[in-house]
Structure 1
Amino acid sequence: MTATAPTTTRAFGVDLITFFDPGFWGLSGSEELEALAAAEPRRVWDTILDALQEAGVAELEMTFPPADRLTAIAAYGSAEAFSAELERRGLSVVSAYFAEIEHAEDVTDPATRAAILAAAETEAAFLAGIGASFLVAGLPMRRNNAEGDGLAPVDLATAAPIADIANEVGAITKRHGVTLALHTESHSVFWTPRDVDLFLLLTDPFLVAFCPDTGHIVLGGETRSSSSRATVSGSSSRTGRTPPAPSASTRSWTRASGSGTARTSAPQARASSTGPRSRRRSPGSATRAASCWSSTPPPTRSGSSSRPAPTWRTPPPASSDPPPPPRVDRRTTTTRRE
């Protein structure tokens, strides 16, 4: 009897930064792509949307220019016309990247905060108008590294004002029916499992969700997954070496995507945090993240032995008592038992 392949109703989506390779356009550099988008935004967006349709990709995430809101409106004249072009091709926008928090020099500055909140209002209204669900945000870059250069630890004092602005942005987007999701980013304050713990503790689960990116997480040197607040996830290809990392090994990660699996490889190293922008940890957190991604068991490092499971991770003995009623997790709108 012939085995049938597993099927799924889940859509496969891509971040439009995929189209930023100048070679796709027959160009020699990013400056030429920027010039093309400024001169012929309709040509750029038509090419992107047609390529997605031809590849069978149904969903997309908008990102930096030229794959952003302003260029799309310049191409089609309005958000409504852009939405019609998507619908004509059977495409939909799921999310857009929001870089204003990440790029802010000082989130406590009143003018900076006002600009971030105004941008969030505009972006959320646009996303709601085209039927998108998430605004994905990165957080600021770290100002220290593993070698101790720069005494700027990501502590409570550092994290609190960033979490505050994230909560405010989340409150704005919620009013439009759009959810803010924090994206793990290499070299940022939201990178390692401990960073994720810290910021998910400080942000309101009703306002702020989680967008784990496996490639960035592996670059941080940690592989534990995170929480039930995961709503949309990314799988970035990270094949380059993050300095200094002289002996980085490679780990293979997978996550569900459409009818198959998206696989990425990334160097496993606790690397310096001074590199350019490349685009948690609690009992039971790994199981709570299962809806986000799954990973193949990472290889044991040479010369090391597997760490025994802590005693607090040992499952409790079976009980004859009836199980507790299912609880609805408001962060992922899925029902699970604890």
Structure 2
Amino acid sequence: MDLEVRHLRALCAIADTGSLHRAARQLGVAQPSLSTQLKRIEQELGGALFLRERTGCRPTRLGRVVLGRARPLVAEMHALVTEARAAAMDDDGPQLRIGSTASRALAGWLRRLRARKREPLLQMDVSANSLLRMLADGRLDVAFVHEVEGSPLRVPDGLRLRVLVEREPQFVSLPADHPAAVHPVVRLSELAGDRWMVDPTVDGEWDAVHRMLRGAGISPRVLHGDYHTAASLVATGEVVTVCQPTCQPRPEMAVRRIHGDPLGVRLLLAARTEAELDSVYPELSQAYQEVARQAPGYREWLEEAGV
């Protein structure tokens, strides 16, 4: 096995994150695949590069030697790719690499950018921290991310942030025939007997939902799964789940405010320069306002809040 730049990049990711799980997410690969790759690299080099401890991975003496040579090579390759992409943009027209967590504002944002002749390339990820890391590494130009209340994002040095919404209240989606759905505002106590579905891969989401439910004095049954699956299960009456206030109700699914607004997120736009923020923020703000007005419950909330 001959070592390639991708192998060196994997070693750097493991060292930087201190965890095979976090490194796999950063690299966009499955953890078992990264573990297998690491074992092959160690076999090729003749020794262990990391100590696997309960708290994570720590470089061995051999690992530190290898990392000392690997980092400059990875940095050089990163610079080469960045310069090549810049040259390609000059030849083929400007392309904007956008990273984003899920949002109904995305479609309107992309449409507005295309109208300005900025062709967007979109990278979706449930992990805001992963998108910020990609932005810092030069793999994205801007990132639109959600910061869950109580779980601050790990913002790499050198990034610029602009707040789109300081605190967006999170609503709840529940079956349309649920007894609590007859009210425009739902108390968590009315949902104590329901199963809740939470996506644990969303940074900070499970901790925040757990705090919210515990604060209400309830301990419901919780299922883990992505929010696309959750929407289907809500529609069939299996679960309830938190959702963004811009979420549109459907005949089989109601979207309601939670009494007291116990859960919120901050919406952020990130880039490496203020100029890049300036170039895309107005379109994002317009797109968000558009979907906010289209969501009846959220529109009423905004009017009551005087926003």
TM-score (norm 2): 0.25
Bigger Rg over Cα: 2
Structure whose residues are more often helix by fraction? 2
Structure whose residues are more often strand by fraction? 2
TM-score (norm 1): 0.24
The structure whose RCO (Cα within 8 Å, separation 6+) is larger is 2
